[in-house]
Amino acid sequence: MSAQASAAAGAAPGAATLYGLVLAGGRSRRMGRDKAALTYGGRAQLERAMALLAPHVERAFVSVRPDQRAEPLRARFAQIADAHENLGPIAGLLAAQAQHPEVAWLVLACDLPLLDAATLARLVRARAAGRTATAYRSSHDGLPEPLCAIYEPCSGEPLRAFVAAGRDCPRRFLLNADTLLIDEPNPAALDNVNTPEEHRLATTALPPQDALDSAPAPDLRHITVQYYALLREQAGRREERLASRAATAAELYAELAQRYPFTLARELLRVAINTEFRDWPAPLADGDVVVFIPPVAGG
């Protein structure tokens, strides 16, 4: 579970829980390289997209083709494998809805390197849980942007009917559905990257720091994390050294919760940095040793 999920979940009473899905099951034919693994600011796009989603969703998954499950970058995250072949991005959403029909899905394509935290936050704030979907209206052609959008649970049935009728264009699905369309605050945020040339342009368009990180100058910090008890079992290790852009203890837990099947919400944990109890907003420094402390049971 994401560290900041409770803030987002509390926003709309009665709304379905929001899960995240990053679509990484494409074949990247025009790029000639795996788009999920392209790096921006030294970080793979799949990792950037998962980190961007984390504050807004209860759980996040990467959508993969069955043959991509063991691919090392994708294997770091919880996955949902497509059940349909050659259906494009809709296959990912169908599989996700089949696995968790009761939740709403915040769907993100894996080729949106310019997507910024503000644009995603605005979508989540604008979410109309009583409608079928919430999406941006493209600044280029006025049509819905289906791959940075929220699909409510009620979209499942019409989406299956749409596919059963032999159709597979998610944009067309949103056009015909009860979709709330909102305007993009940043017209370039949803420009996707399909070719090596577009990748090069996106890399130069990004500010020097990683555009996804909200903290100023998010340098890589080398952090040692030690795991105890339930977290040790779920992480499958006692200790690890990692390079992270997380600026605070809270962000680090959110990042690790994407990587490991942690079941404890951050609200149930305490955190220690360099063997001192600290608050979650405590800033991290290079060389820190961080321990997340599950509910204790001495005596």
In the complex, which residues of this chain contact other proteins (CB under 8 A)?
226, 228-230, 232, 263-265, 268, 270, 272, 275-277, 291, 293-299
Q: Which of 156, 146, 144 is nearest to 16 (CA)?
A: 156
CA distance 152 to 258: 22
Q: Which is nearer to other proteins, 121 or 272 (CB)?
A: 272
Task: Please report where in the chains the tokens 């989540």 appear, as a residue.
Answer: 124
Q: Which is nearer to other proteins, 117 or 265 (CB)?
A: 265
Task: Please report where in the chains the tokens 């936050």 appear, as a residue.
Answer: 121
Q: Which is nearer to other proteins, 261 or 281 (CB)?
A: 261
CA distance 218 to 166: 46
CA distance 250 to 206: 25
Q: Which of 237, 233, 214 is nearest to 224 (CA)?
A: 237
Strand ranges of the sheet holding 104-109, from the earlier edge strand across to the other edge: 79-81, 59-64, 18-23, 104-109, 144-151, 133-137, 179-183
Residue 169 to residues 89, 139, 204, 250, Cα–Cα distance (Å)? 8, 19, 31, 38
DSSP bridge partners of 60:
20
- Closest distance between other proteins and the C-beta of residue 232, in Å? 8
Q: Which is nearer to other proteins, 197 or 276 (CB)?
A: 276
- Closest distance between other proteins and the C-beta of residue 160, in Å? 29
- Closest distance between other proteins and the C-beta of residue 241, in Å? 18
- Closest distance between other proteins and the C-beta of residue 264, in Å? 5
- Closest distance between other proteins and the C-beta of residue 86, in Å? 38
- Closest distance between other proteins and the C-beta of residue 1, in Å? 10
Q: Where are the alpha helices (DSSP H) in the chain?
A: 5-9, 45-53, 72-75, 89-99, 117-126, 156-164, 170-176, 196-205, 229-235, 249-259
Q: Which is nearer to other proteins, 55 or 294 (CB)?
A: 294
Q: Which is nearer to other proteins, 170 or 294 (CB)?
A: 294
- Closest distance between other proteins and the C-beta of residue 261, in Å? 11
- Closest distance between other proteins and the C-beta of residue 271, in Å? 11
Q: Which is nearer to other proteins, 105 or 292 (CB)?
A: 292
Q: Which is nearer to other proteins, 110 or 249 (CB)?
A: 249
Angle at 278 between CA 275 and CA 281, to 5 degrees: 140
CA distance 55 to 4: 5
First CA to last CA across the chain, in angstroms? Answer: 29
